[in-house]
């Protein structure tokens, strides 16, 4: 398990959203990742809720602030404002509910309209424990992810299959992107120094590595 106990010291803070239609299992995925327990009592999320967990990755301690967003239509305007604040999104559909899969294109459009280009996005097909009721094939999920350039994985919050892998894969993508941006900033600063352009009036302020 990549999940470790949360404490006050960390190297990065990443904000991750769970998005998708109501009933696809977002809240159950959140509970499984944070406490390794199944949330048996289904209650539709009202607005947004969040929990914290910590991952160890590539020698860094990363705190995840995981936001569980409501899937009902009446909350979409409210949850859209959280997209710009996030570093990553897990877009979830239910493999036993074809409509939830078809609606992912609407979610993708809303995310693209309200997020930044730095956002890392992953497509999740949840409830693979209910294989006998499957309506969306693995190939369909893979093809949609390919069309939009997304990572893809199928999960089960009930059995915990691939839940940790989903959060770990998304977190690694965010970390690699953040480190790449920092290295590019350093290279640009070195280039300015070599050109003699980086005087006291143009020298960038010291930047934290934390994506707070």
Cα–Cα distance, 111 to 73 (Å, whole number): 14
Give the mean pLDDT of 15-32.
93
pLDDT at 206: 47
Tokens, residue 62: 């990363």
* Whether the predicted pLDDT of 195 surpasses 70: no
Comparing CA positions, the residue from 151, 25, 28, 46 lying closest to residue 92 is: 25
- Confidence at residue 192, expressed as pLDDT on a 0 to 100 scale: 55
- Does the residue 137 lie in any domain? yes
pLDDT reading at 191 higher than 70: no
Q: What is the pLDDT of residue 118?
A: 86
With respect to residue 75, please indicate whether it lies within any of the assigned structural domains: yes
The answer to whether residue 69 is domain-embedded is: yes
Domain containing residue 62: 3-176
Q: Name the nearest CA neighbour of 145 among 121, 168, 169.
A: 121
DSSP for 71-110, written as a single string: -SGGGHHHHHTTGGG-SEEEEEEETT-HHHHHTHHHHHHH
Domain count, the chain: 1
Contact by Cβ (8 Å): 157, 211: no
Low-confidence winner among 27-36, 172-181, 190-199 (lowest mean pLDDT): 190-199
Dihedral pair phi/psi, residue 11, rounded to 5°: -95, -30
The pLDDT of 41-65, averaged and rounded, is: 78
Is-contact 88 123, C-beta < 8 A?
Answer: no
User: Could you tell me the CA-to-CA distances from 165 to 1, 152, 202 in Å, in that order?
Assistant: 9, 11, 43
203 to each of 16, 64, 109, 156, 200, how far by Cα in Å? 32, 32, 38, 49, 5
- Say if 181 falls within a structural domain: no
Q: What's the pLDDT at 137?
A: 98
What is the model's pLDDT at position 1? 37
Taking all residues of the chain, what is their mean pLDDT, rounded to a whole number? 81
Q: Which DSSP string corresponds to 109-120? A: HHHHHHS-TT-E
Burial of 114 (0-12, 13-18, 19+ CB in 10 A): middle
Residue 104 domain-assigned (yes or no): yes
pLDDT for the residue 123:
98
Please report which confidence band the pLDDT of residue 180 belongs to, taking 50, 70 and 90 as the band edges. confident
Mean pLDDT across the stretch 47-75? 80
The CATH number that applies at residue 90 is 3.40.50.300
Q: For residue 45, count other CB atoms closer than 10 A to its CB.
A: 19
The rounded distance, in Å, linking the Cα atoms of 157 and 129 is: 8
pLDDT tens for 76-125 read 666 667 788 899 999 999 999 999 999 999 999 989 888 877 899 999 99
Is 212 within a domain?
Answer: no
Instruction: Give a yes or no: residue 139 inside a domain.
Output: yes
With both helix axes pointing from N to C terminus, report the angle between 26-35 and 163-195 in degrees, rounded to the nearest 10: 80
Is the full-model pTM beyond 0.95? no
Q: Is residue 206 part of a domain?
A: no
Q: Give the mean pLDDT of 40-68.
A: 79
């Amino acid at each position: 398990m990549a999940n470790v106990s949360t404490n006050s010291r960390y190297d990065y803070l990443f904000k991750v959203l769970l998005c998708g239609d109501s009933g696809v299992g977002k809240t159950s995925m959140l509970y499984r990742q944070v406490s390794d327990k199944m949330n048996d009592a289904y209650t539709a999320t009202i607005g947004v809720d969040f929990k914290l967990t910590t991952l160890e990755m590539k020698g860094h301690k990363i705190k995840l602030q995981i936001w569980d967003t409501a899937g009902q239509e009446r909350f979409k305007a409210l949850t859209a404002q959280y997209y710009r604040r996030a570093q990553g999104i897990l877009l979830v559909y239910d493999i036993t509910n074809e409509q939830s899969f078809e609606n992912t294109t609407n979610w993708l459009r809303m995310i693209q309209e309200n997020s930044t280009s730095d956002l890392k996005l992953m497509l999740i097909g949840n409830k693979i424990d209910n294989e006998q009721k499957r309506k969306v094939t693995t190939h369909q999920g893979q093809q949609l992810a390919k069309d939009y350039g997304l990572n893809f994985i199928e999960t089960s919050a009930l059995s915990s299959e691939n839940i940790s892998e989903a959060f770990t894969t998304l977190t690694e993508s965010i970390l690699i992107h953040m480190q790449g941006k920092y290295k590019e900033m350093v290279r640009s600063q070195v280039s300015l120094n070599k050109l003699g352009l980086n005087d006291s009036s143009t020298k960038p302020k010291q930047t934290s590595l934390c994506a707070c």
